[in-house]
Structure 1
Amino acid sequence: MTVSLNPISKDEKHILKNLYSLYLHDLSEYTEGLDISTDGLFEFDSFELIWKTEGLTPYFLKKNKTIVGFLLLLESPFLKKDYDYSINDIFILKKYRRKGIAISLLKVLFKQKKGSYFVVELAKNIPAVIFWRKIFSELNIDFEEKKKIVDDEECLVQSFQIT
């Protein structure tokens, strides 16, 4: 299995927008803050900022050249000096989940980008919490976890170092 992280070009943003709708649909199960729009999509309010803001980098996650999801990485200058990176969003299409693709892709990312990271999950999103704890365990990553209110939602924030 060949997995890769591929930066998304502005010409491909329509594909990412479609994937974001699926991602937000999945998240809507865990929060009252997400609703479908009048055109039948779940929309990311700040989607256009991805293309206008330095330090927001979207990647397609691919398995054997097929798009299986996306990852939005935050880094400097968008992030302040406390952390080098944040995996803001990671989404794998249901067909490709639980097949080791995500851990393989994160290994690629962590090999390319070393430094201090944080991730945030909605506390009610138990599958995401389990996912990240499994990643930390399988990759032998020590992490610190704190509960925090983010946008009026109880979240878990995990911080860790990749060396």
Structure 2
Amino acid sequence: MKNMALSIKKVITENFAAFKMLWQFYEYDRSYYSKEDLELDGTFDIDEEFFLDIATGKEEGEAYLLYFNDMLCGFVFIEPTEIAGQEIPELADIFILPKYRGKGLAYLVLKQLMFKSPMAWHIAIYKDDKKARTFWQHAFKRLPFKSVDKIEPSEAEGFQEFIVEIR
């Protein structure tokens, strides 16, 4: 990971268009698992108003744009969730453009966002998404999680869910 410059910037009104476009790429990328169809205008249906409310602080949650060497390369979305009887943050979505995958950026994102304080987090992975499952299996082993508990049965159909504790 030498010479790697990752920066994480909160989504605000001024950079919301970039976030919205990246979310379209994300929807395309995960459409195999989500089974989402395109709208007649050729875009995926996203709750733009909700995400704009996140960007302006009117809704709970956090959205961040990711930059690798000052080039926009992805995003992260975190939202509060209630799972297994507790209210905790969920690393709801993380997306890295294909060009930037395999560089360890997702690990850096986890270290910078999840490991800033000791707490529990919710992780949900599409059961059929082998790449995401492999990534998280490696992350659970490589990163200093205090515990990783699989939720059985999963509370969300089609997903594997975990509650992870940060040291």
Q: Using structure 2 for the length normalisation, give the TM-score.
A: 0.84
Give 3-state SS (helix, strand or coil) of 1:26's partner: helix
The answer to whether the 8 Å contact 1:3/1:64 transfers is: yes
- 1:75-112 CA distances to partner (integer Å, 9 max, x unpaired)? 3xxx3471431111100000001111110121111233
**2:134 aligned with 1:133, yes or no?**
no
Aligned to 2:38: 36
Q: Using structure 1 for the length normalisation, give the TM-score.
A: 0.86
Aligned to 2:9: 6
CA distance in 2: counterparts of 1:113 and 1:14, whole angstroms: 30
Q: 1:112 aligns with which of 109, 116, 140?
A: 116
Give 3-state SS (helix, strand or coil) of 2:95's partner: strand
Amino acid corresponding to residue 64 of structure 2 in structure 1:
Y
- 1:15-43 CA distances to partner (integer Å, 9 max, x unpaired)? 111111110111111232x0111111123
Aligned to 1:17: 20
Residue 2 to residue 71, structure 1, CA distance change in 2 (3 Å): same
Structure 1 unmatched runs, 5+:
none
Residue 120 to residue 49, structure 1, CA distance change in 2 (3 Å): same
- 1:88-143 CA distances to partner (integer Å, 9 max, x unpaired)? 11000000011111101211112334311011111011111111111111103231
CA distance in 1: counterparts of 2:70 and 2:100, whole angstroms: 13
Q: 1:158 aligns with which of 146, 153, 162?
A: 162
Amino acid corresponding to residue 39 of structure 1 in structure 2:
D
What's the % identity of the aligned pairs?
A: 26
Aligned to 2:127: 123
1:28-107 equivalence runs, <5 A: 28-32=31-35, 34-44=36-46, 46-52=47-53, 53-75=58-80, 79-80=81-82, 82-107=86-111
Give the aligned CA root-mean-square deviation in angstroms. 1.8
Residue 113 to residue 19, structure 1, CA distance change in 2 (3 Å): farther
The count of residues paired between Structure 1 and Structure 2 equals 156
CA distance in 2: counterparts of 1:158 and 1:18, whole angstroms: 29
